[in-house]
Chain A
Amino acid sequence: MINFFKKNYGIIRTFDFKRHYVKAIYFLLVLIALLAALIAIFPIIWTILSGFKTLSEFVNEPRLLPESYDIGKFIKTWNLLGFGRFYVNSLIVVVGSVIFSILCNGLLGYSLSKVKPKGYKLIYSLILWSLMIPSTTSIVPLFLNIVNLGLQGSFIPLWISAGANAFFVILYKNFFDSIPQSIVEAARIDGCSEWSIFFKIIFPLSYSINAVVAIFTVTAAWSDFLLPYLLLNNTGKETVMVRLFQFRTSIATDVDIIRAVTFSIIPPIILFAFFQRYMMEGIAKGGIKG
């Protein structure tokens, strides 16, 4: 017979379950966890389902769930707001960001971990400090920098901004630190340049860390709104989040807004469904928070 309460880690152990009060505590814990899961999931489900309500239902009737489920309402809002365009723009931002994020942060992490040129310690401590400085505090001068280069209304600043991420540099550095230095030394003796060592030897070994960085870059690029809003508002290149931010100042019905929220959260949820293992491992290892 399989023991229902086999547990060889944590505070409560298999032998503790012989006592009745331990079983009671255990079921209490499961109950609390179920409650927490419910609190975590329910608002999301409610938001998605509320999109099926009509405007008068949503504004007047204190009911949890809609009366009917007609997907046509979502299609109507999608067409009304022209959401396809925002999806395409967000996709362009996301793809460019991932490329710059992996290449630039990866190369910097590699140099800090394996090449260590003179003065690398200074750069490393600058990167560590940058972790703590919120990007929003210097958004005005940054915006002016971009305007001076004539890059407002362009996707380029958003792409390349992903290439300057202190978290990812440190993630990469820690990962490369775990690759034996001897592999790199052997390649150097064979006459490989640092570029070819990175692309031909290190890069193929870095699948898992690249996946983590790529996924987090996708979520970050999809979610970002302040800089995209300043650069892309009213240019026809608005991303999904810029469109959501516009609701602050533009007129729209509540049901259209809540359906737009659903449109904006579906892609990240799908991404999570496919890659949840990488995302949750990345959190546990790197301590990244969204």
Chain B
Amino acid sequence: MLKKYKKDIAGWMIMLPALLLFTFFIWEPLLASVVMSFFSAKGIRLEKFVGFQNYIEVLQHPDFKAAFSNTFVYTFWSLVIGFLVPIFLAIIINEIIHLKGFFRISVYLPNVIPGLAVAIMWTFIYRAGKTGLLNIILGNLGVPPQAWLTKAHLVIPLIVMFMTWRSAGATTLIYLAGLQGIDPELYEAAAIDGAGLWARLRYITVPQIYNLARTLLILQIISVFQVLYEPLILTNGGPNNASTSLMLLVYKYAFEKFDYSKAAAVSVIIAIILILLTALYNKLVKENEM
């Protein structure tokens, strides 16, 4: 009788250390933050059940409206800039015969640098006045120095540009792996049939990486929804909330106002959005596999 379950017991014993850690670091805190969002709290002590009060107060606060709509602006710009750049880069690098290794390594290099260090680097690049890197370069072209990060309509695209600089290389490598998986005979057959370069790109390359692109698109939206330290370091959400994000709102509630219940309420709202996006992602992945 015991022998029958021996394998199951051994299997669970092996999983146990990691499962304890997953519970402690991920699963329990997630549930705890749901519970917390329904209570009023004094510091870290929960006081009494308040129903949806925290949610109502959070949703009615003007900061939330700014953060919520900004998150969509972040997503929009990251699709315009961040989504297409890696696709173009991968297709170009895949076509190049010479210095291929150099190109792959150099576009990936920014990804190696810690995110916090990158954010500080870019505060110096976008720095107002004539000594910021961007202003130095534009100054040589005769453009007067700009105070880049104080322009409300520019601040999000600028932050997205720096996020793209950091992460495009990794995505490019994923696309490159996808491009290398395309059967070379498809192109040969098309060429024999007289298809030009544009037709080969349009009717072979694009359809072949379409599914991959769709998956990476959702993953990118999910990660952009969590943008936190970029605006935290570069602008602290400014000017006048123009670059604040939902995660930054959580950070400010938790670690600047020490209002943990409201921080938890915003976290739960983000988690619900992410769960919806994840469900969509899983649905797409399943379709891909079929």
Contact = CB atoms under 8 A, between A and B. Distances in A.
Interface of A: 5-13, 15-16, 22, 25-26, 29-30, 32-33, 36-37, 39-41, 43-44, 46-47, 50, 58-64, 100, 103-105, 107-108, 110-112, 115-120, 123, 126-130, 132-142, 144-145, 147, 160-161, 163-164, 166, 169, 193-195, 198, 219, 222-223, 225-226, 230, 241, 244-245, 247-248, 254, 257-258, 261, 264-265, 268-269, 271-272, 276, 279-280, 283-285, 287-290
A126 to B, nearest CB: 7
B11 A111 contact: yes
Given A127-B22, A290-B112, A284 B177 contact: yes
A129 B33 contact: no
Contact of A58 (B131, B137, B179, B275): B131
B180 interface: yes
A197 to B, nearest CB: 10
Given A37-B106, A103-B17, A194-B10, A261 B121 contact: yes
Given A40-B107, A138-B29, A244-B116, A104 B18 contact: yes
Given A43-B165, A290-B170, A134 B260 contact: no
A111 B124 contact: no
Given A136-B247, A142-B29, A145-B24, A33 B92 contact: yes
Given A33-B92, A283-B173, A123 B19 contact: yes
Interface in B147-177: 165-167, 169-171, 173-174, 176-177
11 contacts: A16-B197, A29-B96, A37-B102, A37-B106, A44-B121, A108-B14, A108-B18, A119-B12, A120-B15, A136-B226, A141-B30
B136 A164 contact: no
Given A29-B96, A290-B170, A115 B274 contact: no
B1 interface: no
A138 B174 contact: no
Contacts of A60: 131
Interface of B: 7-15, 17-19, 21-22, 24-30, 32-33, 36, 44, 89, 91-99, 102-117, 120-122, 124-125, 130-131, 133, 135-137, 139, 145, 165-167, 169-171, 173-174, 176-177, 179-180, 184, 187-188, 191, 197, 200-201, 204-205, 219, 222-223, 226, 228-229, 233, 247, 250-251, 254-255, 260, 263-264, 267-268, 270-271, 274-275, 277-278, 281-282
Given A40-B110, A194-B11, A25 B197 contact: yes
Contacts of B21: 100, 104, 160-161, 163-164
Given A241-B116, A287-B174, A40 B191 contact: no
B29 A272 contact: no
A44 B11 contact: no
A219 B117 CA distance: 13
A223 B191 contact: no
Contacts of B282: 128
A239 to B, nearest CB: 11
Given A40-B106, A140-B264, A13 B187 contact: yes
A138 B26 contact: yes
Contacts of A265: 113-114, 117
Contacts of B115: 223, 290
Contacts of B27: 126, 130
B18 A107 contact: yes
